[in-house]
Structure 1
């Protein structure tokens, strides 16, 4: 994988996967993911995005609630996780879905899940918006991960240089209590 390539993993159960055609350098790999619909190759246990159409989301708040909550519970172990909704909050508030669920109850459930599981729900507004958010969140995670790796490597190299020159780490001074 070269620097311009972003290797995204798409869960094999994802029924309507994004193609990411408008994003150059994206390589798609189909594989089973334990959590979410999209991840980064090599980081499947650290980052994931769960995609939801509006009707999918409402289904997860009604008949599929227990399964969805188990997924949100698993997602707590990840460094980066979000539910990307291909609709707006207003779409939910106005009841623009096929279920008979009360729109207020739907929004209250989403807010409760965000608090309970520490998981953001990103209102992307549309499928195109969902693809955009998914790509850029995973790309930002990749960049942040690489920056932390570079920083850790630089620190290790500086420590090695210090050891080679006979340097010692300075002792931490204890605060004196009066």
Structure 2
């Protein structure tokens, strides 16, 4: 499995011990994707403070545009390096009230059809990112193989 990591990603996961290849590249949407499937699947990584920055002002507008682009993908998720409880208890630097922050995240999930995976910490977020992409690759391989087989050998 070859994971593409956006070259602008500041704290990139290494996926050490996961038995995959990581290659830097430029992604239109998200921070991580799969080689050859960048237009179908992606994962956006957020620390809790980074996520809070995406809920106010210009950061919110930019993040909403990202989520709108992501709606065009088959599979997309936002992986958060914190727990929902961390947000609910205001364990971040922003002055935004926890209730308002949680309501924004829930609204984004409904509006853009995008799951937010609360992973507890960075290690959990790396695990979730790897396995989210791995499961997509397995499902996509099965789906597209059956489509090609339905069209006969000339389609492959």
Match of 2:55 among 52, 56, 61: 61
Tell me by how many angstroms 1:157 deviates: 3.1
TM-score w.r.t. length of structure 2? 0.94
Tell me by how many angstroms 1:104 deviates: 0.3
The reply on whether 1:100 has 2:73 as its aligned counterpart is: no
Question: Which SS does the other structure have where 2:3 is aligned?
Answer: strand
Structure 2 residue runs of 5 or longer lacking an equivalent are none
Match of 2:112 in 1: 117
Question: Which SS does the other structure have where 1:23 is aligned?
Answer: coil
The reply on whether 1:156 has 2:151 as its aligned counterpart is: yes
Structure 2 CA distance, aligned partners of 1:55 and 1:43? 29
**Higher relative contact order, structure no. (Cα contacts within 8 Å, ≥ 6 residues apart):** 2
Structure 2 CA distance, aligned partners of 1:128 and 1:14? 16
Cα offsets for 1:149-169 (capped at 9, x unmatched): 2212332339x9xxxxxxxxx
Match of 2:73 in 1: 78
Tell me by how many angstroms 1:133 deviates: 0.5
Cα offsets for 1:7-31 (capped at 9, x unmatched): 000001100000000201x111101
Match of 1:172 in 2: none
Structure 2 CA distance, aligned partners of 1:33 and 1:154? 30
Match of 1:28 among 17, 22, 26: 22
Q: Rg larger in 1 or in 2?
A: 1
TM-score w.r.t. length of structure 1? 0.83
Match of 1:174 in 2: none
Measured on the aligned residues, the alpha-carbon RMSD in Å equals 1.3
User: How many residues of Structure 1 are paired with residues of Structure 2 in the alignment?
Assistant: 153
Question: Which SS does the other structure have where 1:51 is aligned?
Answer: strand
- Extract structure 1 runs of 4+ deviating beyond 3 A: none
Structure 2 CA distance, aligned partners of 1:16 and 1:119? 22
Match of 2:37 in 1: 43
